[in-house]
Structure 1
Amino acid sequence: MCRADVGYVEVERVLRPCSSVEEVRAALRRVNPHLQLIDCESSGDLADVLASQHNACTIAPSQSAAILLRSFLSDDEVEQITSEMLHRCVSDPHSTNLDPITTPEERSDMFEEYQQMCRENRSELNTCLLRKLRWSSLGVHYDWTRRTYRGTSTSDMPRWACEIYNNALKAADEICGSRLANGGYQPQAALVNFFHSHRSSDRLGGHKDDVEARDHSPLVILALGLTCTFLLGGDSKVGITPAPILFNSGDVLVLSREARQWFHGVPTILKGSVERPRHADGSVEDFLKRTRLSVSIREVWGGEDSGVEGSSKKARLQDNEPDVPMDPVDCG
């Protein structure tokens, strides 16, 4: 399969069985000897990183389209954010994949149930409700099945999400001289994916985030917990070799301009990326050693609704929903 034009699907397929950095590197070499894992230790513009590596990847980001912010969040910040999500962001008024099959009380007690089972060293830990949690939607709620936003269904955006979004845009500007922080972008929704290490099916296939109003408003992606391989492709899955990025806990990726509409996903979680005790102890720190969380923060409405110009379309809404939000989403 050593071809210069190997596409997203082929690279995604060979990476799925991998569970360590060494296995990822070997899989990439089988695809193309010059396709390298992006594991730089410092933050940078992806265009510069690819040029310095002479990488076989054939995506061609312009300057400031894709910015990788290494260790943007400290270990303490990662733990605090995760604790906030486990205690407050996986139950009402936020929406989750468990809403149709559980009560609000059950969802609000998920983490406490998990902690109790850990303390008792229960063998059925992997069947507890928290381990069945796959996603949570904060701010303007997203319907994962229909790929639409529910215009009248919202919850407050956590303040930490708004602050990280704005600070990440400022950091990206400092690296490449862009003006993202002055673009009038408002963080209005955050989608949280939970990847549980015991479940091999927990992957995120290549997709585009293309239902928001402004196609090129920045997408800010946070990595929490286990390391993963993040695959960033181009505007097509065919004929463009994607960039495999080692995405560590605390890293942040800012996608803007043309990169905002590129295919991306998580083909593999690197389960051996941290040392962990054999038995879970129920702490947030231990949970992060067994789980990966991806938080993608974005603007939804754009155009007149966000006070900025340049909206190319309305956000994709469910049938019978108003085409503008009735009230702004609070960053509370």
Structure 2
Amino acid sequence: MDGELFPRERTEITPGAVHVPDWLGPERQRELLDACRDWARPPAGLRTVRTPGGGTMTARQVCLGLHWYPYGYARTAVDGDGAPVKPMPGWLAELGREAVMAAYGHPPSPGAWERPGPDSDPGPDSDPGRNPGPYPYPYAYDIALINFYDGDSRMGMHRDAEEKSGAPVVSLSLGDTCVFRFGNTASRGRPYQDVRLRSGDLFVFGGPARQAYHGVPKVLPGTAPPGLGLTGRLNITLRVGGLGTAPD
């Protein structure tokens, strides 16, 4: 926002979790918004997500690369129209790598991408989707979840736990400002920190923060940049699945 008394600065919220304000400029925001509108069209377009308990998520969603549903991935929109999921564009995967560089200042070491225990990542040589790109990262971003929030939408505290890769999660915000609640790895409760994410902001969490609970308790209607042409909030979340081939 122009004319602020204290300009917002890059902040490490907790080790591995970094907020980079105003990372996307106005033109890049508009380009990304146009792409989101194309992805939201059917087939495999924007849909309401239904939970196993019979409820519905208030934020609507469309997926690229692989289709997320509670709580797994598939190649088709299994809880939507059943159509094949749209592909993950190479330029969007590259944006994910650029985001990690912007947040951390350097490529993470290979060990930072691993998940401990029996679900640990098998390593770059065993993943057919390996594509380091211009940076020496073991994997390419291959999944995008795009969530649309209107003024009444919320997202409960949850972890991004369906991926086998420990690569950092990249979150990009467009439109209305939201309150983003970033918590701990042990429970949905305190301690947590509330961060206001504005249009163009970047948030990356990996390493010790990769399995932290997080959510969106509030969206602030009417706070989107006037020139963007968006009512509501879009969140583009980029992930590395490490899944090989997902089931139908």
CA distance in 2, matches of 1:207, 1:40: 30
User: Could you say which residue in structure 2 is the equivalent of 1:233?
Assistant: 183
The equivalent residue for 1:96 is 46
Unaligned stretches of 5+ residues in structure 2 = 1-5, 51-57, 77-83, 113-134
Larger Rg computed on CA atoms: 1
**In the alignment, which of 183, 186, 193 is matched to residue 147 of structure 2?**
193
- Match of 1:211? 162
Q: 1:99 to 1:298 in 2, by over 3 A?
A: closer
Q: Tell me if structure 2 keeps the 8 A contact 1:95–1:141.
A: no
39, 60, 63: which one aligns with 1:137: 63
Q: Is the 8 A contact 1:71 1:251 kept in 2?
A: yes
Structure 2 match to 1:173: 104
The residue number in structure 2 matching 1:33 is none
Relative to structure 1, the CA distance from residue 90 to residue 274 in structure 2 (aligned partners, 3 Å threshold; closer, same or farther) is closer
Alpha carbons 2:103, 2:204 under 8 Å: kept: yes
Aligned position for 2:228 = 285
| C-alpha RMSD of the superposition | 2.9
CA contact (8 A) 1:168 1:254 kept: yes
1:280 corresponds in structure 2 to none
| d(CA) in 2 for partners of 1:97, 1:241 | 33
**What's 1:42 paired with?**
9
Residue 71 of structure 1 corresponds to: 22
| Higher normalized helix content (fraction of residues) | 1
Residues in 2 aligned to 1:207 and 1:237: alpha-carbon distance in whole angstroms:
9
Secondary structure of 1:77's match? helix
- Tell me the number of residue pairs that the alignment of Structure 1 and Structure 2 aligns: 205
Show structure 1 runs of 4+ deviating over 6 A.
none
TM-score normalised by the chain length of structure 1: 0.55
SS of residue paired to 2:28: helix
- Name the CA distance, whole Å, in 1 between partners of 2:36 and 2:89: 9
Instruction: Measure the CA separation in 2 of the matches of 1:170 and 1:94.
Output: 31
Deviations 1:66-103 (A, max 9, x none): 111111100111111111211x2013454431699xxx
Change (3 A) 1:85 1:265: same
- For the 8 Å contact 1:96–1:133, the answer to whether it is kept is no
| Secondary structure of 1:285's aligned partner | coil
**Relative to total residues, which structure has the larger strand share, 1 or 2?**
2
Aligned-partner residue type, residue 218 of structure 2: T
Equivalence for 1:297? 238
SS in 1 for 2:65: strand
TM-score, structure 2 normalization: 0.72
